[in-house]
Amino acid sequence: MTALDGTIGTSPNRVGGIDRVTGAQRYLADMSVTDALHAKLVTVPVARARVARIDGSAALALPGVRLVLTADDLPQPVPRFGPQNLDRPVLATGETKYHGDPVALVVADTREQAEAGVAAVHVDYKALPAVCTVAAALATGAPLVQDRSLRAKDPRRNTNVLNEHVVAWGDVEAAAAEPGLTIVERRYTFPMVTHFAIEPHAFMAAPDGDGVSVWSTIQHPNWLQKTIAGLTRLPLSKVRVYAPDPGGGFGGKQHAKYEPAVVFAALRLGRPVRLVLTLEETFQAVRRAACEARVRTGFTADGRIAFHDIEADYLIGAYTDIADRVVGKGSYPAAGPYNVPAVRIVARAILSHTVPSTAFRGFGNPQINWAVESTIDEGARVLGIDPVDVRLRNLARKGDRFIPFDTPCDGEWDQAVRKAAELIGWDTPCPPGRGRGIALGIKSGPTTGLSYSIVRLLADGSVVVYAGTSDMGQGARTVFAQIASHELGAPLDWITVVMGDTAIVPYDQQTSASRSTVLMGNAILAACRDIQAKLRSIAATQLGAADTDVTVAEGVVRLADGREFPIREVLAAGLGRLGGEITGLGEMRKEAEAGHPLSGAPAFFEFNCTAIEAEVDADTGDVTIDRHVTVSDVGKALNPLQVRMQDEGAAIMGLGHTLMEHYILDDEGRIRNLGAIDYRIPTSMDLPRELRSEAVENADGPGPYGSKGMSEGALLCVAPAVAAAVRDATGVAIRDLPLTPERVWRALQVGAAPGDAEGRR
Amino acid sequence: MPQTTLPIELTVNGTLRGIDVAPHHTLLEVLRDDLQLTGSKECCLVGECGACTILVNGRSVDSCLVLAVEADGADVLTVEGLASPDGRLAPIQAAFLDQGGVQCGFCTPGQLMSAHALLAGHPHPTRAEIEEGMAGNLCRCACYEQIFAAIDQAASGAAPAVTGASVRAEAGDAWAGAKTSAEGLDQ
């Protein structure tokens, strides 16, 4: 296959890849505009503080410093924003809520002058008691993270519980009272971790005529446009968001962070202002919610799951961001891909004086899946039934309404389980000193969506595709170009995909939930088919045929009499002497459903099965992943290499929170391991010795050509599969992540608790 | 504050450049801000992530950790200098494209420079040598396996499936050259 063949199901070279290997690709920090000023954030070094006064006079006296913007300089009351609740102030007002909560923005001619200005700003503050754990946030008399006035109508306003999400069916207590059940009850914890996109967040804003232009590393340009329009009271048409391809997002770039402050500074100064975060500042801007979960599960003697009783406390940050949705949507399928007759899931979003948690690949599912799958593994061991068998006995089959009132099981999930088991050699003896573990996971795809696309077939047969998706590495540009190439016949390099400019590209709700291949892909497909329909009329007229005798597909016009013409031959004739183009419009809409707890059933499920073979160094506690098998149901791999890269990337990212990543907070709630030296993510030295990713393809998804969304599934199961393998190898169960050498070594010194070693292979 | 600058000379991607630099500016800052060579990226700025990796006198370094004045007189190679002047990609660049060693692309310039340095010292590196040689370059998209495959491809000397702009032009020409004949239709 050649690099330019866009055939669906092949892997042409990445569209935009050449600029990425030559250094020509311009990320936001590589861009500037004339006269741009540089901004830096002012913060206080505690988790929570009462800010009495901010004195910027010394800073303003320094060369080049133009502005010290504080909450007092903003419209009053200080505007607040957020995708769920309008609870985040543009700059902290009165009280800072977490270590890194900015109180001011210093703007200067150069970055160094802005840094000098930050050092010269005097913030008069008093540290206040902070709550940074679930226990502290829920303690009697705990300080309230959010002012009650922000939650006036919320019956929980006198607590730090922001919300509680309950999903239930069947009768758990009656099920638990049945005789003969084996009931396993355990607690699990999942740490705070951060996205660590290699590109730190960056923002720029500039007055633009009677409006404002905003540049951001944002995943959701249209959502940012709406946010800025709301804060500035400008019409949407006067807010132009440029969103160059992000250098990695993983959910951490979905929603506005400091863009509003930069916009207010730029409008006040009448000049462009740019703010590029340091990596340390990104740690203080985005993270995944920590979670403490209790799972009580009953098994029948033959390994059927009789009930699940699940409680999960997600420790979110000081402002909601999208965290409450993460808790609600992430916990909703917590009972797993199984047919379970009685289920109760209670998940709480708990506010704390910590960095606001946000979307992060897996969106709340990895935390709870860690607990539930580990519990199933434990049940299998206690019962003496093979962990794969237990799962297959309970696994939903296609069409099963395994979650009542939700999307039925939409894949041949057992195929993925069997494939993973086969690839790891589940039924073969494990090499001495090693252990094996397996886990399953599902994640709900998008529950609502709206994507428009415009496709233009130009006079020479080349194509321009407009798509509001952000290509942050997942390869959306390439897949979109493949769809257009497949439908309209142009080679890939005759196709341009335009993204990232709200003044030009039509609306797209967001780039999240692994939606873009399905939702935007369908919009592009519809736009291409719109063009095909117009070509059909043109061809019928040109050739004197009836419309019904003409078909247009895969770049070719076919007549009932057997004649075939490439699309662009028909195009050239049809457009005539004036030339011009044919424009297609596509829309993909997934409406909300009244009464559904998630406001809609998912468009698809991501299903994954991960199998691990691992060994543990008893002297150091170091875990080595010998073999890592990950199998996802993707419907149809439009670009198999990109599918593999997304699955492997998710798998390795999962190894991060499983083995090494976690925030370390001191007693005052300060993050002690800010930055790349003290916070480790997987490197080339931390990979599985053998990594194998496979896809199950039955073309049974709702996306183009039977595709489903994918790219998060392979992260869901890593922790429970690795911990099960560690337990299999050592006989010791560990229920807190990450499985650092220290934690594993300490656990080995204590040794197996009663029952831990049961069911060892 | 008064700022003194020091004149230095660098040979950057084969071209001798005389620059006045602030004594506390890093090589990365000078490349990006003074020479507008933005291919080398800023991320951790403490020498852990490798996004700013370049070659100085043939050795790979984190340019965020080197003061520009320390490099006075040095020969510097950045990602912008890997391709030949006519735009033909270096084998390692083509291999990254072929094997899928690029996702978001932000770490890619640093990965390429480390891979280039690795291959200069180990023309046929083992897996262990690749893991070690690339250990200073973080990829959060985690396409490490594809990066390793790209290094293998470049080391094997296998002809790349694509050589970038040149092939792009040839293929484009082929389609452009095909007659968009409307004969038989234009009636």
Where does the pLDDT of residue A754 fall: very low under 50, low under 70, confident under 90, or very high at 90 and above?
Answer: confident
Q: DSSP per residue over A323-355, as a string?
A: HHHHHHHHHTTTT-SB--SEEEEEEEEE--SSP
Name the residue among A248, A490, A573 with its Cβ closest to that of B186: A573
Check if the beta carbon of residue A633 is closer than 8 Å to that of residue A63: no
The closest alpha carbon to A658, from A719, A610, A729, belongs to A719
pLDDT of residue B2: 52
Specify the pLDDT at position A10: 95
Nearest 5°: phi and psi at B17? -125, 130
The answer to whether the A31-128+199-247+252-283 and A290-446+596-750 domains have the same CATH topology is no
Report pLDDT digits (tens) over A87-117: 999 999 999 999 999 999 999 999 999 999 9
CATH node for A17-26+449-590: 3.30.365.10
pLDDT at B118: 98
Interchain proximity A22–B39, CB inside 8 Å: yes
Please say if A712 is a catalytic residue: yes
Q: What is the pLDDT of residue A348?
A: 98
In angstroms, the CA A95 to CA A145 distance is 10
CA pair distance A620, A632, nearest whole angstrom: 33
Mean pLDDT, range A557-573, rounded to an integer: 94
A46: contact with B, CB 8 A cutoff: no
Residues 6 or more apart in contact with residue A686 via CB below 8 angstroms: A655, A659, A660
Domain B91-171 matching CATH 3.30.70.890: the answer reads no
**Which residues 6+ apart lie within 8 Å of A264 measured at CB?**
A69, A73, A74, A90, A231
Report chain A residues whose CB lies below 8 A from the CB of B45: 278-279
User: What percentage of chain A reaches a pLDDT higher than 70?
Assistant: 99
> Would you call A649 and B103 a contact, using CB atoms and an 8 Å cutoff?
yes
Picking from B45, B141, B181, the nearest residue to A473 by CB comes out as B141
CA B67 to CA A608: how far, in whole Å? 48
Task: Give the helix ranges, DSSP H, for A66-145.
Answer: 111-120, 134-138
Which three-class secondary structure state does DSSP give residue B163? coil
CA distance A17 to chain B (A): 6
Residue contact B78–A23, C-beta within 8 A: yes
A641 in reach of chain B (CB within 8 A): yes
Contact present, B83 and B163 (Cβ < 8 Å): no
Tell if the CB–CB gap between B164 and A460 is shorter than 8 Å: no
* Whether A645 contacts chain B with CB within 8 A: yes
Break chain B into its structural domains and give their ranges. Answer: 6-81, 91-171
Read off the pLDDT of residues A445-500 as tens digits, 9 standing for 90 and up: 999 999 999 999 999 999 999 999 999 999 999 999 999 999 999 999 999 999 99
Amino acid A195: pLDDT:
98
Question: Could B142 and A649 be called an inter-chain contact, meaning their C-beta atoms sit closer than 8 Å?
Answer: yes
Which residues of A, range 560-589, sit inside 8 Å of B by Cβ?
A: 565, 568-570, 572-573
CA–CA gap between residue A68 and residue A56 (Å, rounded): 6
CB spacing of A21 vs B97 below 8 angstroms:
yes
- Provide DSSP, A150-215: GGTT-TTTTSSEEEEEEEEES-HHHHHTSTT-EEEEEEEEE--B----SS--EEEEEEETTEEEEE
Dist. CA A95–CA A103, nearest whole Å:
9
Q: What is the pLDDT of residue B157?
A: 87
**Which residue in chain A has the smallest CA separation from B148?**
A684
pLDDT digits (tens, 9 = 90+) for B99-141: 999 999 999 999 999 999 999 999 999 999 999 999 999 999 9
Nearest CB partner across the interface for A676, out of B39, B48, B82:
B48
Residues 6+ apart with CB under 8 A from A525: A483, A487, A586, A704
A556 and B CB contact within 8 Å: no
Segments making up each domain of chain A, as ranges? 17-26+449-590, 31-128+199-247+252-283, 290-446+596-750
The reply to whether residue A198 touches residue B43, judged by beta carbons under 8 angstroms, is yes
Cα gap B187→B183, rounded to integer Å: 8
In chain B, which residues have their Cβ closer than 8 Å to the Cβ of A675?
44, 46, 48
- Give the pLDDT confidence of A329-340 residue by residue, as tens digits: 999 999 999 999
Of B83, B143, B176, the CB nearest to A648: B143
- Mutate which of A1, A11, A22, A485 to test chain B, going by most B C-beta atoms within 10 A? A22
* Predicted pLDDT at A177: 98
| Residues in chain A within 8 Å Cβ distance of B106 | 27, 197-199, 247-248
Query: A34-43, A301-310, B5-14, B158-167: lowest mean pLDDT where?
Result: B158-167
Q: Which CATH class is domain A290-446+596-750?
A: alpha beta
Evaluate if residue A506 carries a pLDDT over 90: yes
Beta carbons of A491 and B144 less than 8 Å apart: no
Residues from chain B contacting residue A494 (CB–CB below 8 Å):
172, 175
Identify the active-site residue in A694, A712, A742, A758. Answer: A712
pTM equals 0.96
Burial grade of A603 (CB within 10 A; 0-12, 13-18, 19 or more): buried
pLDDT tens digits for range A194-242 = 999 999 999 999 999 999 999 999 999 999 999 999 999 999 999 999 9
CATH 3.10.20.30 fits B6-81, yes or no: yes
pLDDT (0 to 100) of residue B176: 67
pLDDT, mean of residues A536-563: 94
Which residues on A lie below 8 Å from B89 (Cβ)? Answer: 18, 21-22
Tell me what pLDDT residue B185 has. 43
Q: Can you give the pLDDT at residue A401?
A: 97
Query: Nearest residue of A to residue B168 by CA position?
Result: A493
Predicted confidence (pLDDT) at residue A706 exceeds the cutoff of 70: yes
- At A7 the pLDDT is 87
Rounded to an integer, what distance in angstroms lies between the CA atom of residue A656 and that of residue A9?
30
Q: What is the mean pLDDT of chain A?
A: 96
The residue of A2, A13, A495 whose CB has the most chain B CBs within 10 angstroms, and thus the best one to mutate to test that interface, is: A13
The pLDDT value recorded for residue A628 is 98
Reported residue count of chain A is 761
DSSP code, position A409: P
Q: Tell me if A493 and B172 make a contact (CB, 8 A cut-off).
A: yes
* Measured distance CA(A142)–CA(A133) in Å, rounded: 11
Mean per-residue pLDDT, A261-284: 98
Angle between helix axes B144-156 and A640-659 (nearest 10 degrees) is: 120
Share of chain A above pLDDT 90, in %: 96
Residues of chain B with pLDDT under 70: 1-3, 159-187
Cβ–Cβ contact A660 with B under 8 A: no
Please tell me what DSSP assigns to residue B35. S
A190 bridge partner residues: A291
pLDDT tens digits for range A131-157: 999 999 999 999 999 999 999 999 999
Average pLDDT over residues A501-507: 98
User: What is A31-128+199-247+252-283's CATH number, 3.90.1150.10, 3.90.1170.50, 3.40.980.10, 3.30.56.10?
Assistant: 3.90.1170.50
